[in-house]
A and B are shown apart, each in its own frame.
Chain A
């Protein structure tokens, strides 16, 4: 199970890095989504994987049985997904504004804040 997840994280990161190296900022954003999911899977995998052992406490006991699924990484991933979603929404809107005000999505063409020496 760990091996499978590790490989898929690797594939996600590779695809994300490929996308993020593009000058097109929309591709960059898609890469960002992939890599943030890779990060979430990393937390999930690092926090111990179990199968069919929900972290429930039996009636009459005070602690769960040893070996149950770890609920904390799932809580962390949930938080990270929510935050990531908010940031992604902001980034998308920003790119849209960039397209409408700057007229380009090529990061090399965005030179308003730092004009080239010759056209300044």
Chain B
């Protein structure tokens, strides 16, 4: 069944080529939307197959594992691919009105789809070096997207984003080399079998820390997150949204994958470090957000803070905590990408995202206000929205594990998140517009309204669905967490029965 795995991987690249060739005509952006609709279909097909049959794997080029490159999808990978496709589709529709023709000519749609391809590859690869390659695909296209247009702020943010990410990449690569030197394999399933058998477990922990730092930079955890608020508010809103939704989450996914499958011997050390990191990430992110006065900067710092919750789930390392981490990951991508898209509309109609310069949108654009409230309250964890269930499961897991401090931190950070969200609400929506003009959605053309509000509405509905019917999502996350804690089906599927 390896075609189920290869199609979602190949599609974004085909879309990228087609979009690049047609970038000078109207077709470029249409190709991107059509390509992402097909991609969503392929992702759902993969998901439903994994949902029915469990883990599936495919060996590329017919080389059997662990010699060839393996693609593998378990519950976590499959749901990440679907959520990537949903985000990609929403953002590609939004980009119809958000990206100007100059950026289209410079290759926006091609870069965007390559980015999606890289993210998908990172989610379904079963090979460590291949993961490195997908990270690079993702990285180089994100570099391009970030500085596309070349405004001063973009170049400035770009320098910081590029440099720190290159350092993390090199650390990752060195880790891969050392791990290969110790085990002689790069296949993740094979590593899961060989690493525990190594004599020198101290060295394994050292390499594990190299991976933790490398992925920690990508995931923007404390104290490695400074590049994120320095760059995420500079590019086009579509780019911010897809970065905010997907990029850091690939880092979190890689952490979850490596620290459940391969590095689970020295939990007493590695996962304690992760727990402290999680707590500090949550606190610094939310305090950083409180100090900002620009919608996109506030939201950027909140990404950091929310990453802390996911790492907390991984760090506690109980079945329930991992359920929370998986649930949080999915909910967060939808909500966070949506908030950035809304910030884009606010900028369109009110002229800025600086909270000091805008206002009055509740009176004149109440519909946008409602669309903002759904993801904002969800992010803050208001029942019965999706963020409430995510936080509830995580805090319950922490209490069950008697980790009182982290449970307290999680609850406190939730409160401070409400503070930031109400700040945006009060400044952007409630107070009068400082210049007396009334920003309304009527200033947008009908096509702009459709292209900008449709993805926002769609993702808000998804947030509501997760919120009102959490049971299927939670039981799905339970199975995903079971697969993470007991990876034997994963290993068997990749290596075949004989390897066990």
Nearest 7 interchain pairs by C-beta: A46-B181, A43-B177, A112-B156, A113-B157, A113-B156, A39-B174, A113-B153
Looking at A91, A94, A98, A113, which has the most chain B CB atoms within 10 Å of its CB? A113
Contact residues of A with B, CB < 8 Å?
20, 25, 28, 32, 35-36, 38-40, 42-48, 72-73, 76, 79-80, 83, 86-87, 90-91, 94-95, 97-98, 101-102, 107, 110-114
Q: Provide the residues of chain A in CB contact with B159, threshold 8 Å.
A: 25, 94-95, 98, 107, 110
Tell which of A32, A46, A79 touches B166, judged by Cβ atoms closer than 8 Å. A32
Prevailing SS type, chain B contact patch: helix
Q: Does B152 contact A (CB under 8 A)?
A: yes
Q: Does B47 contact A (CB under 8 A)?
A: no
Q: Are A102 and B155 CB-contacts (below 8 A) given A39-B177, A43-B173? A: yes
Q: Does B230 contact A (CB under 8 A)?
A: yes
Q: Provide the residues of chain B in CB contact with A48, threshold 8 Å.
A: 181
Q: Provide the residues of chain B in CB contact with A38, threshold 8 Å.
A: 174
Per-residue 0/1 for B167-184: is the Cβ within 8 Å of any A Cβ (1 yes, 0 no)?
A: 101100110111011100
Q: Provide the residues of chain A in CB contact with B233, threshold 8 Å.
A: 113
What's the Cα separation between A92 and B173 when bound, in Å? 21
Looking at A44, A86, A91, which has the most chain B CB atoms within 10 Å of its CB? A91
What's the Cα separation between A43 and B173 when bound, in Å? 8
Could you tell me the distance in whole angstroms from the C-beta of B309 to the nearest C-beta in chain A? 25
Q: Provide the residues of chain B in CB contact with A39, threshold 8 Å.
A: 170, 173-174, 177
Q: Provide the residues of chain A in CB contact with B140, threshold 8 Å.
A: 86-87, 90
Q: Provide the residues of chain B in CB contact with A98, threshold 8 Å.
A: 155-156, 158-159
A47 and B162 within 8 A (CB): no
Per-residue 0/1 for B132-169: is the Cβ within 8 Å of any A Cβ (1 yes, 0 no)?
A: 11001001100100010010111111111011001101
B162 and A36 within 8 A (CB): no
Could you tell me the distance in whole angstroms from the C-beta of A3 to the nearest C-beta in chain B? 15
Looking at B136, B156, B177, B178, which has the most chain A CB atoms within 10 Å of its CB? B177
Tell which of A45, A80, A86 touches B173, judged by Cβ atoms closer than 8 Å. A80
Q: Does B248 contact A (CB under 8 A)?
A: no
Q: Provide the residues of chain A in CB contact with B163, threshold 8 Å.
A: 25, 28, 32, 91
Could you tell me the distance in whole angstroms from the C-beta of A76 to the nearest C-beta in chain B? 6
What's the Cα separation between A101 and B159 when bound, in Å? 12
A102 and B152 within 8 A (CB): yes
Residue of chain B at shortest CB distance from A120: B293
Q: Are A47 and B180 CB-contacts (below 8 A) given A94-B143, A102-B152? A: yes
Tell which of B136, B153, B167 touches A83, judged by Cβ atoms closer than 8 Å. B136
Could you tell me the distance in whole angstroms from the C-beta of A60 to the nearest C-beta in chain B? 23
Q: Does B417 contact A (CB under 8 A)?
A: no
What's the Cα separation between A46 and B179 when bound, in Å? 8
Residue of chain B at shortest CB distance from A31: B167
What's the Cα separation between A112 and B147 when bound, in Å? 14
What's the Cα separation between A28 and B182 when bound, in Å? 31
What's the Cα separation between A38 and B174 when bound, in Å? 8
Q: Provide the residues of chain A in CB contact with B158, threshold 8 Å.
A: 94, 98
B153 and A112 within 8 A (CB): yes
Q: Please, how many residues of chain B have a CB less than 8 angstroms from a CB on the other chain?
A: 37
Contact residues of B with A, CB < 8 Å?
129, 132-133, 136, 139-140, 143, 147, 150, 152-160, 162-163, 166-167, 169-170, 173-174, 176-178, 180-182, 229-231, 233-234
Tell which of A32, A35, A112 touches B152, judged by Cβ atoms closer than 8 Å. A112
What's the Cα separation between A112 and B160 when bound, in Å? 12
Q: Are A43 and B143 CB-contacts (below 8 A) given A36-B170, A79-B133, A112-B153? A: no
Q: Provide the residues of chain B in CB contact with A44, threshold 8 Å.
A: 177
B156 and A73 within 8 A (CB): no
B177 and A91 within 8 A (CB): no
What's the Cα separation between A96 and B158 when bound, in Å? 12
What's the Cα separation between A32 and B364 when bound, in Å? 51
Tell which of B139, B152, B169, B174 touches A42, judged by Cβ atoms closer than 8 Å. B174
A47 and B166 within 8 A (CB): no
B181 and A47 within 8 A (CB): yes
Residue of chain B at shortest CB distance from A35: B170
What's the Cα separation between A55 and B99 when bound, in Å? 52
B153 and A87 within 8 A (CB): no
What's the Cα separation between A21 and B454 when bound, in Å? 47
Q: Are A83 and B133 CB-contacts (below 8 A) given A90-B143, A113-B157, A113-B234? A: yes
Q: Provide the residues of chain A in CB contact with B166, threshold 8 Å.
A: 32, 36, 87, 91
Q: Provide the residues of chain A in CB contact with B229, threshold 8 Å.
A: 114
Residue of chain B at shortest CB distance from A9: B174
Could you tell me the distance in whole angstroms from the C-beta of A19 to the nearest C-beta in chain B? 12
A90 and B162 within 8 A (CB): yes
What's the Cα separation between A27 and B240 when bound, in Å? 29
Q: Provide the residues of chain B in CB contact with A45, threshold 8 Å.
A: 181
Tell which of B129, B136, B180 touches A87, judged by Cβ atoms closer than 8 Å. B136
Could you tell me the distance in whole angstroms from the C-beta of A8 to the nearest C-beta in chain B? 15
What's the Cα separation between A91 and B170 when bound, in Å? 14
